[in-house]
Amino acid sequence: MAEAGFLHIAGMASTLLLIMIIGINSGKNIKNSSDFTTGGKSASTSLVAGALISTLIGGSSTIGTAQLAYSYGMSAWWFTLGSGLGCLLFGLFFVKPFRNSGCITIQQVISHEYGNFAGVVASVLSSFGIVLNIVAQILSANALLTAVFGIRPVLSAAITVAIMICYVVFGGVLGTGILGNVKLVLTYIAVGFGTYKILTLSGGFTPIYNALPKEQYFNMFARGFGIDIGSLVSVILGVLCGQTYVQTILSGRNDIDAKKATVAAALLLPPVGLGAVFIGMYMKINYPLIESSQAFPIFVLENMPPLLGGAVLATLLLALVGTGSGMALGFGTIVSKDIYKKFIRKDADGKKELLVSRIFIVLSFLISAAIVSINKQTAILTWGFLATGLRGTVLLFPMLGALFFKDKIDHRFAVASSIGGITAHLTCELFFELSFDSLFAGVGVGFIIFAVGAIVKKFSR
């Protein structure tokens, strides 16, 4: 198999250098926490869409999707399909309520309705999902950098974290928006050229269709209906309950711009996943003995012109860096706004909040890297689906109650729905072999507790 040559490295280095310069330069106008977390609520539709896409097109959508497609084919498409549907639902139903709430975080919305304790519980529990999503991105980086340079996972993780820090710590939400648009263009070039190359090398789609077992590779439910639908639902809930996405739509100049951005993201995301699926299936046919996580990077090395291939490899790295950075930005905002500002230093000014946010962004990267060090061989999308599902089980029902059912749910049961939901989800995930995604257990338990809370509230008046 081909190895990275001088032109690969030149293309990769120049692309990454450009991105890092843009990221650092975008931070020059960041003066306080408002600029950092919501961009001063001045972002255009394109910047909002760029920030959304920057987080949603990551290692899971590209390298992770190709990895799963290498083994299961079309069912790997659920991640980006779910991301698109989640953005669409967010735009239709959640943009206006969130922007009218006057809050910056989901946890603040929950606190205003159910009290500070409910907000703290939501903050702490939802942070697990954020960190696990960063884990998926670092695993993707390990697969990429190992395939290209043959470096050890520890060094790969260190390089990835360093780039993530430049990407988000300096630029905040506007930085991720600007870089998101750059990344979108580069990613479309990568998957578009890749799909063209596959069809050219294979002689069209029919030979690919005939070369693979149809029940496994051309079945959207190849892993089982309950598992694949659960994957779709987990990603949708992860988008709806994602702090990063709330910050992003808050950065828009007005409701209309924010809604347009979510619709644009919904339309642009699925084609990226489909291109990654084709790459994974092509590599299964032609390179059946490789490590599945390296399907996308090896495809680039083997089948693209070196200079373009280097730029594409940098784009893949940028994709996972953008998602990990966006997740970390949400984590830092939760800590600075919902814990530090509320319980530790209530009189903290914007500069102190900004410092705390940046410190905890770096901390989230270090924790994620530590988790990766003891889970090097797990599938990338396993972490992606688990991360989005955990966010949903923790935040879904308290968030819905706070936004749409004000003063309808007893606050004790709102808290209990978060705790019960994540407990059921993790218990089923860790200790039971189910024919369906453990997300359904978590959501089911959360809903029952939430419904009981509505009944208690109604009869206590």
Domain architecture of the chain: domains with CATH: 6-459 (1.20.1730.10)
Q: Cβ of 213: how many Cβ atoms within 10 Å? A: 10
- At 445 the pLDDT is 96
Instruction: Provide CB contacts within 8 A for 259, sequence distance 6+.
Output: 91, 92, 95
- The structure tokens 């970390």 sit at 328
- At 161 the pLDDT is 84
- At 341 the pLDDT is 79
Query: By the 8 A CB rule, do 15 and 160 touch?
Result: no
Query: By the 8 A CB rule, do 27 and 176 touch?
Result: no
Render pLDDT for 308-328 as a digit per residue (tens, 0 to 9).
888 888 888 877 877 787 778
Burial 413-422 (b: 16+ CB within 10 A, else e): bbbbbbbbbb
Which DSSP letter does residue 252 get? B
Which residue type sits at 88?
L
- In order of 322, 438, 456, the CA distances from 248 in angstroms are 13, 29, 36
The span from the CA of 406 to the CA of 444, in Å, is: 21
- At 182 the pLDDT is 74
pLDDT in tens, the chain (461 residues): 566 778 888 888 888 777 667 666 655 555 544 444 444 555 678 878 887 887 788 888 899 999 999 999 999 999 999 999 999 999 999 999 999 988 888 888 999 999 988 988 888 888 888 888 888 888 888 888 888 888 888 888 888 888 787 766 555 444 555 666 777 788 888 888 999 999 998 999 999 999 999 999 999 999 999 999 999 999 999 899 887 788 888 888 888 988 999 999 999 999 999 999 999 999 999 999 999 989 999 999 998 888 888 888 888 887 787 778 777 877 887 788 777 877 787 777 777 887 888 888 888 888 888 888 777 666 788 888 888 889 899 999 999 999 999 999 999 999 999 999 999 999 999 898 888 899 999 999 999 999 999 999 988 76
- At 176 the pLDDT is 52
Return the bridge partners of 252, or none.
43
> Which of 255, 242, 2 minimizes the C-alpha distance to 122?
242
**Distance of alpha carbon 309 from its chain centroid, rounded?**
25
Helix, strand or coil, per DSSP, at residue 43: strand
- At 208 the pLDDT is 94
**Distance of alpha carbon 58 from its chain centroid, rounded?**
7
> Which of 328, 413, 307, 409 minimizes the C-alpha distance to 133?
328
Phi and psi at 347, nearest 5°, equal -95, 10
Query: By the 8 A CB rule, do 27 and 172 touch?
Result: yes
- Angle subtended by helix axes 380-404 and 106-114, to nearest 10: 40
- At 427 the pLDDT is 95
Helix, strand or coil, per DSSP, at residue 253: coil
- At 167 the pLDDT is 65
Secondary structure tally for the chain: helices H, strands E? 21, 0
